[in-house]
Structure 1
Amino acid sequence: MVRAAVLIACSLMTTMALAETRSDTFRQALDAARNDDWDTLSRMEAELEDNHPLESYLEFHRIRAGLPELSAEKVIAYAEKYNDSPLPDDIRDIAITAYGKAKRWDALLAVSNQVPGPVTLQCYYYQARLASGDDSALQEAARLWNYGSSRPDACDPLFSAARNAGVIDEKAIWERQRLAFEAGNYSLMRYLNRSLEGSEYETAGNWLKKLYRSPDELENLPKGLSKEQKAALREDGFYRWIYTDTVTARKWYEKHAKRIKNEEARQTLARRLAWYSTIRGIEENREWLDNWLEDHSDVELLSQRTRRAIIEQNWDAVAHWIAKLPEQEQADSRWQYWQARALEATGQEDTARELLQKAAQGRNFFAFLAADRLGEPYRFSDAPYAASTPFEPPAAVNRVQLLQELEEDTAAHREWLWLLWNSDREQQQALADYALKQQWYSLAVEASIQSKSWDTLAWRFPPAYRAQFEKEALENNLDPWLAMAVSRRESAFNPRARSGVGASGLMQLMPATARNVARDVGQDRPTQAMLFDQNVNIGLGTRYLAELLEQFNGNRLLALAAYNAGPHRVDNWLEAEDDKAVPADVWVESIPFRETRDYVQAVLTYRVLFIGLHDDQPRTAQLISDKENESRYSLSMLE
């Protein structure tokens, strides 16, 4: 028995050593392919088994390096051979760019099985169509050109052809200048204005620039303009004026609205005026705004107007504006909760309780608030998964595993997404279950989203990296479930996640924040690569969260808002005077940034779900603590 156990152990160790050797060999081969080191690649490939699961990645770089000289037939053959992965789409995009730069138009059209998505590739594609004699490409050029921001340099030849053909004329330039005005792109406006010199739109273009700086000048438009130009400038000037001085713009509109002859434009501008009057809480515009809202069933604006009434704790107005919402909206837990709060404030406790009972049926922040107000447990509506047939992992799953072992997480995630997009719902759910069993937490979450399995909470809220969160939370005197909820919201438990602004890892730490935290605790300066290490990221992230909690006297609502938007903003969101302080629920609703408002609600909700699913704590009174709920939110909280 002992000898058999030793033999088995030796066999396992040998197998693991071989697997590690093969992984290292492939890593060297992939690095060589990326660096166009073909001699090294050939040596490494000789050591790999035939038909290696990731051979497509090595061949990808051979094709990539051969462009644009490589024939379109070889690109197409590669795409057909590996058509069960995202790589064919990638190589086609690369080929379109390479052929486009080399002006190999026939080859470009041969590899383009449809109109590409990115604008740069579309511009190459339509240049190829034009070169083949298809003049309809000029109309597509005009469509791509008519945009309020700059376009890629690759589009310039296509746009020049359209200009020379008269498809893009002075009127089109003027119309694009107006789009740039609307987008707030003053530099593009100036650039386009130079092309209007000497044309019938020169004066209009000059005045458009002037109105951008001084929209109140719309009253002083010169006589030489055409009727259409004057109408357009008046609309554009007022559009800008609403943003720069909403009160004065409203006064002008009340007197001169009929001067905007185009009915559709007038309604669009009135809505914009109502929007800024609402979100800025401009009391001087309140009478006009409320009269406008009475006549317009605009769900988004009615929601914002209700928010404003909540922030002001004008409970009669809260009830009034919620009643203006469509019935489907009123049935949402959020509005049921606030309607109940309004009823409580006006002494209608029994009716309020009925609404809270309805609101508490959901599984979201306001449903949990309602349950806490009633003193009742939360309703999770968890649906366990039961497979209808045995699951046989497709080849892509093996590639995902190997890529993860190589720490090629971006490639692994793209393979996973491609597989999900090309699977039916039954297979998507099977993949979610498989990913969870493999502890591929972020992939399980992704599969739950793609399959719309909203009630299978095991996939959506797995206890990812629980031991590490508990260890770091203990060291920092922090609730581990709160840190896990932050990670779930920030990255969906993807250790290699990186945002557009550079926030990295599980808890999406900015490099500067990570350096500051590490310095404060005497740790080495973390590199970018270190932030993708789950242990490093969780350690620094939990420490930073603990620091914010200390800064905000243990208040999680304030600390979470600071984690998302920055501590300095939270100070600005607290009333300076105690007599203007608001309750916890009102303060959350008053957060000006929708992203941060949703963030605070989501993290607190996720924490409740994690506790309910993975802890033995009661499913009640977990959302907001008594201290947080009893506090009145003003700057005095920080003293």
Structure 2
Amino acid sequence: MRPMNTKRVHPKLSPIARVLGLSLGWLLASMPALAQDDRDAAVRAEFMQQIDALDAMPSPQAGSATGVASEALRQYVLYPYLEAQRLRAPLRFGLPADDAAIAALLLRDGDAPSARDLRRDWLRDLARRRSSALFLQHYSEPRADAGLRCERLNALFATQAAGTPDEPLRKAVLDVWMTGAQLPDACVAAFDQARTRGWLTPTLNQQRARLALEAGNADLAEFLLRSVPADAAPTLRAWAALLRNPERELDALTAAGPAALAAQAPEALAAVISKLGRRDPAGTATRLDRLVAACGTPCPLASPATPGELRREVALGAAWSRLPITVAAFKQVDEAVVDERAHEWRVRAALWAGDWTLAQRWLAAMPPALAEQPRWRYWRARAEARQDAGNALSRSLYQALAAENGFYSVLAAHQLGQPYAPTPIAAARDATLQQQLASRPGMQRARELWRAGRNAWSSLEWGEELKSLSRDELIQAARLAQTWGAQAQTVTAASKAQVFDDFELLYPRPFERDVDAAARLSGVPSNWIYAVMRQESLYDPRARSRADALGLLQMLLGTARDTARRQQQPLPGADDLFDPSINTRLGALHLRELLQRYDQRFVLVLGAYNAGPKPVARWQPSAAALDADVWIENVPYNETRSYIQRVIWHSVVFGWRGDGQPQRAGALLKPITPAAVASGADAR
């Protein structure tokens, strides 16, 4: 086993590549196998070396180290990316940009993905240099962030000719200014000029203050209201005070009585009760009881802050915290204000409380479109079975679900005591259409960028290509990406074509030798490792999250190093986690540690892997054990609940693909006991 450390030197690296800490040979080896007659391999390697050198350039003086492009590279489909990155390089060091060359490239390439980073950085540089005319000539609204939109306003003010009408410029200012969000400092100069010209009137300030309050931005609202007469906009000022000190202001309104409550903006009351209901559901329920009592009969509060609507928000907050008051809180909610969230969460609350009769009644009250979702068909079957173990309706519901594909189909088969096998539905194959798609320049760029290890750029090119494709073309695009081993692109195209059940297409088993070795070492089933890998990185060994989770199993470097120490493995550096063999090994060992921590409850491992151990500890049952399906259904984070369900589904599909046999889900669905929940360090 080769040693791993952050200072590892690869013998074949160029000096610039050593700065980057990457091995070009390793990068190529980590990609899907290329055909033996791959004529682009050499020029791709040259492109990768030069683009990596630009990324790693430590100083402007090192610019010459990127080398001179060969004729083959200049003809290469990715050469525009190299051109754009070379022109961007001086901007990183505050050096003068080659304005003429950049302008020519942007005129030639337009809004191509290869030019977008260059255009953004150059526009920022032009704004800094106050090159207003050139800025306006190359400004692109669809790609502009708030800062560039404001720099455009500054340029328009700077270039406005004497005697030209103000209205277009005033409208442009208001289009940017009229938002509830805080805007960047680049906007200050333009807005100051607009105030000088009298465009930002007290009435407009009030309108924007309302937008800010609706966005929960009390600071911005109070700033805007400073320019409004002191006796104007009392409702907005009260709204800001309510956001600033919600408990104190609610108590004051309760003491003041019905008239004061009726004078408050209903949106303000709704927002504050909803916010407090998430933070302190029990305390907010008590406070709301006092408020409603003080409001009189009938209570003058208007929607969205009628007593029923406010009680609904408090009940939802209690459900998300799994409080004992939750079921009683939902019983207080008028049926007329039960929206989709309340329909779902009051059933979940009844399941958590073990009140199957109430769950059955609330399931029956769901709108038909909601009730027919697999989720609620399953829970209807569960409720029916709890009322009568031999219930024919529950069995027929389970059987219908078990004949479908998805998480709730796995659960239905488990309730029937049967193994589950997915039903594959193969998407069409059309080699001719694939060949036509492969000849498109955008597809060629996406493929080459993937092979060159530039998946973010590849995804941009891919997304642009997919915009114009028919469903049949999307399916063949997915099959085309599959031949590259670009699973993210495969899934993107297949999802857009509504193809979800072609398991050969969507559930490959790459890195099989590495995964099998990791499974043997850790004792974690290979299909569980694959399931986490698919959900975390879509098989991309180069994946990096915003939180700096790395590689196939998206491990944080600190977690990987701690795992390695405990498991007597070589300590990895960040680059090592892009190596599939290292990432899968340490990731599987980390999964084993989590399984030990959570008493072999895989669903808790998944909850901790996605949301962290602290939320999972908060979500534990207080006394009695809970069925795993009930616990999963009550996970309050939508993302984490979906994550757990998807990984369990992936695990079953991978198990079935691995041995061709129907799968039993019992090991995935062990009951959740209070002792099974632990706290600890970040699960990544």
TM-score interval for Structure 1 and Structure 2 normalised by the shorter chain? 0.7 to 0.9
Partner of 1:249: 288
Deviates more, 1:524-533 or 1:332-341: 524-533
- Deviations along 1:359-384, one digit per CA (max 9) or x if unpaired, are 22331111111122222643424214
Distance in structure 1 (CA, Å) of the matches to 2:229 and 2:552: 54
Partner of 1:104: 131
What corresponds to 1:275 in structure 2? 316
How far apart are 1:507 and its partner, in Å?
1.0
Question: Of the candidates 587, 590, 600, which is equivalent to residue 631 of structure 2?
Answer: 587
Code of the residue aligned with 1:256 in structure 2: it is C
Task: State the alpha-carbon separation in 2 of the partners of residues 380 and 314 from structure 1.
Answer: 34
Classify 1:62/1:384 alpha carbon distance in 2 versus 1 (closer, same or farther; 3 Å). Answer: closer
Deviation at 1:341, TM superposition (A): 1.0
Residue 470 (structure 1) aligned to one of 516, 522, 536:
516
* 1:23 pairs with one of 37, 40, 45: 45
CA separation of 1:228 and 1:596: change in aligned 2, threshold 3 A: same
Tell me the distance in 1 between the aligned counterparts of 2:556 and 2:630.
Answer: 30
Greater relative CO, 1 or 2 (CA 8 Å, sep 6+): 2
**264-273 or 596-605: bigger deviation:** 264-273
Contact 1:212-1:240 at 8 Å conserved across structures = no
Deviates more, 1:335-344 or 1:151-160: 151-160
Q: Once superposed, what is the RMSD of the aligned Cα atoms?
A: 4.0
Contact 2:466 2:493 in 1 (8 A): yes
Say which SS state the counterpart of residue 69 (structure 2) adopts: helix
The amino acid of 1:119's aligned partner reads: A
Q: How does 1:421-436 map to 2 (within 5 A)?
A: 421-436=467-482
The answer on 1:151 being equivalent to 2:179 is: no
Amino acid at match of 1:520: R
User: How far has the Cα of 1:311 moved from its partner?
Assistant: 1.1
Trace 1:217-366 onto structure 2 (pairs within 5 A): 217-218=249-250, 220=252, 231-232=263-264, 236=268, 239-244=271-276, 245-247=283-285, 248-253=287-292, 255-256=294-295, 262-264=302-304, 266=306, 272-280=313-321, 289-296=330-337, 298-347=339-388, 349-366=391-408
Moved more, 308-317 or 430-439: 430-439
How far, CA to CA, are the matches of 2:47 and 2:424 in structure 1?
48
CA distance in structure 1 between the aligned counterparts of 2:192 and 2:434, rounded to whole angstroms: 55
Q: Which residue of 2 aligns with 1:87?
A: 114
Residues 506-555 of structure 1: CA distance to partner in whole angstroms, max 9, x if unpaired?
11112221121122123444333222222222121111001111222222
Distance in 1 between residues matched to 2:238 and 2:35, nearest whole Å: 77
Q: Give the counterpart letter for 1:107 in structure 2.
A: L
Label 1:229 to 1:282 Cα distance change in 2 as closer, same or farther (>3 A): closer
Does the CA contact (< 8 Å) of 1:319 and 1:339 recur in 2? yes
1:124 match: 151
Partner SS, residue 292 of structure 1: coil
Q: 1:116 to 1:125 in 2, by over 3 A?
A: farther
Superposed displacement of residue 306, structure 1: 1.1
Give 2:361's aligned amino acid: H
Task: State how many pairs are aligned.
Answer: 618
1:615 aligns with 2:658: yes
Aligned residue type for 1:104: S
Range moving further from structure 2, 315-324 or 77-86 = 77-86
**Cα deviation per residue 1:250-286 (whole Å; 9 max; x = unaligned)?**
4413542866554455486565345335434566575
Write the distance in 2 (CA, Å) between the matches of 1:102 and 1:455. Answer: 54
| C-alpha contact (below 8 Å) 1:138/1:167 kept by paired residues | yes
Alignment of 1:386-535 (within 5 A): 386-387=429-430, 389-392=432-435, 393=438, 394-535=440-581
**1:134-213 aligned within 5 A:** 135-170=167-202, 172-173=204-205, 176-177=208-209, 180=212, 183=215, 185=217, 188=220, 200=232, 205=237, 208-209=240-241, 212-213=244-245
Change (3 A) 1:14 1:272: closer
- Which of residues 49, 53, 75 in structure 2 aligns to 1:51? 75
1:4 counterpart residue number: none
Aligned with 2:477: secondary structure?
helix
SS at match of 1:391: helix
**Amino acid paired to 2:372:** A
The 5 Å alignment of 1:536-551 reads 536-551=582-597
Residue pair 1:518, 1:524 contacting (<8 A) in 2 also: yes
**Cα 1:114/1:149, change in 2 over 3 Å:** closer
Contact 2:292 2:299 in 1 (8 A): no
**Stretch deviating more after TM superposition (237-246 or 325-334):** 237-246
Contact 1:473/1:479 (8 A) holds in 2: yes
Task: Structure 1 unaligned segments of length 5 or more: list them.
Answer: 1-11
Measured after TM superposition, the shift of residue 103 of structure 1 is: 3.5
Residue 28 of structure 2 corresponds to none
Distance 1:557 1:302, change over 3 A: same
Contact 1:250/1:285, CA 8 A, preserved across alignment: no
Q: Which moved more, 1:320-329 or 1:452-461?
A: 452-461
- Secondary structure of 1:454 counterpart: coil
Task: State the Cα distance separating 1:402 from its structure 2 match.
Answer: 4.0
Gaps (5+ residues) in structure 2?
A: 1-33, 277-282, 679-684
SS of the residue aligned with 1:606? helix
Residues 617 and 116 (structure 1), Cα distance of their counterparts in 2 relative to 1, 3 Å cut: closer
Could you give the per-residue CA deviations for residues 560-600 of structure 1, whole angstroms, max 9, x where no partner exists? 222222234434332342xx322222122222322222222
TM-score normalised to the size of structure 2? 0.79
Q: Structure 1 residues 238 and 379, CA, compared in 2 at 3 Å: closer, same or farther?
A: closer
Question: Contact between 2:421 and 2:663, CA under 8 Å: does it hold in 1?
Answer: yes
Q: 1:405 to 1:594 in 2, by over 3 A?
A: closer
Q: Which residue of 2 aligns with 1:61?
A: 85
Read off the aligned partner of 2:392 and give its amino acid letter: D
Instruction: Compute the displacement of 1:46 (Å).
Output: 4.8
- Give me the whole-angstrom Cα distance separating, in 1, the residues matched to 2:178 and 2:474: 40
Distance 2:123 2:580 in 1: 38
User: Are residues 75 and 163 of structure 1, via their aligned partners in 2, closer, same or farther at CA, if it must alter by over 3 Å?
Assistant: same
> Post-superposition shift, 1:476?
0.9
Counterpart of 1:152, as a letter, is P
CA displacement 1:56-108 (0-9 Å, x = unmatched): 02321354468898798865642453469412444443343333333434333
- Aligned mates of 1:515, 1:233 — CA distance in 2: 53
Percent identity over paired residues: 25
Q: Contact 1:181–1:212 at 8 Å: present in 2 too?
A: no
Distance 1:123 1:421 in 2: 29
Q: After superposing the two structures, state which structure 1 stretch, 406-415 or 485-494, moved more.
A: 406-415
- How many angstroms apart in 2 are the aligned matches of 1:84 and 1:150? 28
Deviation at 1:138, TM superposition (A): 3.4
Stretch of structure 1 that moved more, 124-133 or 55-64: 124-133
**Equivalent position amino acid for 2:407 in 1:** F
Q: Alignment partner for residue 423 of structure 2, among 344, 359, 380?
A: 380
DSSP-derived class of the 1:504 partner: coil
Q: Is the 8 A contact 1:211 1:237 kept in 2?
A: no
Write the letter of the residue equivalent to 1:55: Y
What is the match of residue 16 of structure 2? none
Q: CA deviation at 1:308?
A: 0.9
Q: CA deviation at 1:351?
A: 1.2
**Residue identity in the other structure for 1:308:** A
Give the secondary structure class of the aligned counterpart of 1:45: coil
Is the 1:356–1:371 Cα contact (8 Å) retained in structure 2?
yes
